[in-house]
Amino acid sequence: MAQTAPLDIANLSEEQMLALRICDLPLSIEGTWLKDCIDQLYSELDAKGLKFRPVCYLADEWLTPLGEPVIGIPFYLAHPTLTRLEKKMMLEAEGETKEECMKLLRHECGHAISYAYQLHKKKRWQHVFGPSSKEYGDTFRFRPYSKNYVRHLDGFYAQFHPDEDFVETFAVWLTPSSDWQKTYQGWPALKKLLYVSDLMASVTGKDALTRKNTQHWHFKGIKATLNNFYKKKREFWAEEFPDFHDGNLREIFKETIAGTNSGAAAEFLKRHQKRIVTDIVRWTGERKYVVSNLIKAATLRARELKLTTPQDQTLTLANLSVYITTLVMNYIYTGWYRGDERKKKR
């Protein structure tokens, strides 16, 4: 029987790619740039005197399964064709550069080493970072100027949960070029870094307490096609896309008519931004920058859609205020502008 030739995804059309099941993709970490990144992570751990080496595998996204001292890396980073597809479908490919990849590896390594040595169960750990048993929310509300937390990943991720506070602190401590003693001098976060330094010294040269290696969400177990995978992923992250406001903005404003001012809606939004922000902040108690960012995003999209304003501008202003208020209230109660309930694995 003739052997089937290996699948060459680099020469497939986008339509052919999207029809493939993820589990059928010919992917491996070996022989890719990811292997170099993982080797660098191991070298950094070795430089700190740590014996721990987390097993890394290809998963559906960046993650460390609960209780498992392993690291899942998104499958799309294992092949440039898939990385390009991810960027087209999701506007970005998280971890596509070596710098970004290393930051994420160090972050996930923090989770893995905590599970490996059961660090999150220590009383001192819980006193410094808070109870690891605290329930993860669908999202988090952060204080952008707080100096109680280190800043490693974008989005002030250390403020999400006690576990994330620890792993972000660990990642800063592990990063060779962080110079954390100087960078965080005078910050309350420095005490956390000093604790992590002492904590890591306590496990230097020691074997992990657990050798579990369950690789949840491994790409080989994902039967969905790339098309269905991205359909669900785009639905999940709908509010992250520029067209999130389109339907509602088209209802509030009008499409461009020949001979009219195509930028009228955007100008209308800019003109009333201060009033809308002030009113919504007063009645909802939401932070000013959250409401302001919503208005700015809607303004940019209105300009790109070339929307005009109806003749009844009083009604338009009322409808716009109700729309933005609805988004803000959803955000207050769920952490998402759509109000959906979602869960993260990281």
pLDDT of residue 141: 63
Does 259 score more than 50 pLDDT?
no
CA–CA gap between residue 135 and residue 132 (Å, rounded): 8
End-to-end CA distance of the chain: 45
Q: Please state the φ and ψ torsions of residue 286, each to the nearest 5 degrees.
A: -70, 155
By mean pLDDT, which of 47-51, 78-82, 327-331 is the weakest?
327-331
CA–CA gap between residue 308 and residue 316 (Å, rounded): 11
Does 345 score more than 80 pLDDT?
no
**pLDDT tens digits for range 177-214:** 899 999 999 999 999 999 999 999 999 999 999 878 89
- Average pLDDT on 27-51 reads 98
Nearest CA to 202 among 13, 89, 337, 52? Answer: 52
pLDDT of residue 5: 64
Does 258 score more than 70 pLDDT?
no
CA–CA gap between residue 167 and residue 69 (Å, rounded): 13
- Average pLDDT on 162-173 reads 97
CA–CA gap between residue 175 and residue 170 (Å, rounded): 9
- Average pLDDT on 58-66 reads 96
pLDDT of residue 312: 83
* Residue type present at position 130: G
The domain segmentation of the chain, as residue ranges, is 9-227, 240-334
Strand, coil or helix: what is 287? Answer: coil
**pLDDT tens digits for range 227-251:** 999 999 887 776 677 778 888 898 8
pLDDT of residue 340: 53
Assigned token pair, 66: 């609960």
Strand, coil or helix: what is 57? Answer: strand
Q: Which residues of 43-61 are buried (b: 16+ CB within 10 A; e: fewer)?
A: ebbeeeebebbbebbbbbb
- Average pLDDT on 21-41 reads 97
Q: Please spell the DSSP secondary structure of 155-166, one letter per residue.
A: TTGGGS-HHHHH
By mean pLDDT, which of 4-8, 259-263, 264-268 is the weakest?
259-263
Q: What share of the chain is helix, strand, coil (3-state, %, to 5)?
A: 55, 5, 40
Specify whether the CB–CB gap between 195 and 165 falls below 8 A. Answer: no
How far is CA 185 from its chain centroid? 28
CA–CA gap between residue 209 and residue 167 (Å, rounded): 18
Helix (H) or strand (E) holding 72: strand 70-74
Nearest CA to 161 among 189, 126, 187, 137? Answer: 137
pLDDT of residue 261: 54
CA–CA gap between residue 130 and residue 345 (Å, rounded): 20
Give the CA distances from residue 200 to residues 61, 117, 151, in Å, rounded to whole numbers and listed in that order: 27, 10, 20
Does 166 score more than 70 pLDDT?
yes
pLDDT of residue 127: 97
Strand extents, DSSP E, 125-259: none
Mean pLDDT, the chain, integer: 89
Nearest CA to 184 among 154, 145, 142, 148? Answer: 148
Q: Please state the φ and ψ torsions of residue 20, each to the nearest 5 degrees.
A: -75, 145
* Residue type present at position 8: D
Give the CA distances from residue 114 to residues 120, 204, 267, in Å, rounded to whole numbers and listed in that order: 6, 13, 52
pLDDT of residue 18: 97
pLDDT of residue 1: 47
CA–CA gap between residue 210 and residue 67 (Å, rounded): 9
**pLDDT tens digits for range 270-285:** 899 999 989 888 888 8
**pLDDT tens digits for range 102-151:** 999 999 999 999 999 999 999 999 999 999 998 876 555 667 789 999 99
